[in-house]
Amino acid sequence: MNPATVQLESVLWSSNHGLVALANAADAEGAKASEAARGASEADSAAAAVCGFEDVLRPDLSVPDLAGAAVSKGNFVLKLQRRNASESGMHVVGDENVHQAENEIDIMRHLDAEPSKCKFIVEFLFGTCTPQVSYIGMEHCRGGDLFSLLASCDSLLIGDVIHYAVEIAIGIQYLHDRNIIHADLKPENIGLTASGHVRLLDFGLSVLLDEERDRNPENGRLEVVTSSGTIFYSAPEILRRECHGIETDWWSYGVLIFEMLFGSWPWDGVDAQETCNLICCTPLPSPQDLGAEALDADWDLIEKLLVKPRSERLGYNKGLEDIKTHALFASVDWDLAAREGYLAPFSLQ
């Protein structure tokens, strides 16, 4: 097999220590012909240079261990994290960010090795670390993400919320069945395909629970203490640095549903500390407090997910099976949904 070569199409996001770009893979001979035909993009080269990535981002970039995994995929997303200072003295990524990049690759490799796949987890193509840069190649979510969708319409109709809530829940349960806590569920980390279906992504903060090391002898559950996640979506037990397990993802799921319905977070203080205090100590605001309306079924689901005592939270006992039995999802055919059988509310097709 000819060595696979990455060609950059456009820079989607960049900083002085990281970059996400839309790329295309081809074998080396095909890449040369393609590059000659289309020419280099000056805008992309400039964006890469600003970030100090000109030493690793070239039109003929050959990624170690790519092994042709993405050649047949067409466009894909290439995520890079700089690991060390360059000779020009660029910013050095901190140990925490380096760990997140390595952790994301480990989690995605673990999921990729599973014999059964879930449609609602972003497809992993390749990942590797060099002394300079961590590379991750993954499926391109052409429909953008839930964050962008919410920004364009503030809130969603209840039928649309149910569609996304069902697909997100199936993805969450797939992770939990493999002892993985996503740990950073938020709209930015929920990609959308061209046909409008969900893809959970960004596993840099995810936790792979160990059956022996993380077993709590008092309750028999797998639990850890973490400080990760985004505050607005973090469960009280995380903010209090208490032991927790997969149930924290169901809290974040409740915040997501709240945000899809009302276009805001349940708790939002003037600063991070006040937000933490509100999440840990203040009751869930009612629709009347928000000047909004909610159906009995959707508000009941939110109330049961955003329960501060984690053992009383919907999803704590049986995970997705608890969610399925809720009245809001009474008309859902979950097997059909798992096959992407429902038409998405928004799509590019």
Range of the domain at 165: 146-338
Number of H helices, E strands in the chain: 11, 9
Q: Tokens 């992504």, residue?
A: 201
130 and 182 together in one domain = no
Last residue of a domain, one of 85, 120, 139: 139
Instruction: Answer yes or no: are the C-beta atoms of 70 and 4 closer than 8 Å.
Output: yes
CATH code assigned at 287: 1.10.510.10
pLDDT digits (tens, 9 = 90+) for 151-185: 998 778 899 999 999 999 999 999 999 999 999 99
38 and 54 together in one domain = yes
177 and 242 together in one domain = yes
171 and 123 together in one domain = no
- Tally of domains within the chain: 2
Q: Which pLDDT band holds residue 95 (cuts at 50, 70, 90)?
A: low
CATH code assigned at 51: 3.30.200.20
Mean pLDDT of 325-335: 96
192 and 272 together in one domain = yes
Per-residue tokens: 275: 């937000």
What is the model's pLDDT at position 228? Answer: 74
Instruction: Answer yes or no: are the C-beta atoms of 198 and 171 closer than 8 Å.
Output: yes
pTM, two decimal places: 0.84
pLDDT digits (tens, 9 = 90+) for 240-299: 999 999 999 999 999 999 999 988 999 999 999 999 999 999 999 887 776 666 667 788
DSSP H/E element including 193:
none
Alpha helices in 157-267 (DSSP H): 158-177, 236-239, 247-262
pLDDT digits (tens, 9 = 90+) for 31-85: 443 444 344 444 444 334 334 455 555 444 555 445 445 445 567 777 877 765 4
349 in any annotated domain: no
Mean pLDDT of 115-120: 96
Last residue of a domain, one of 122, 139, 156: 139
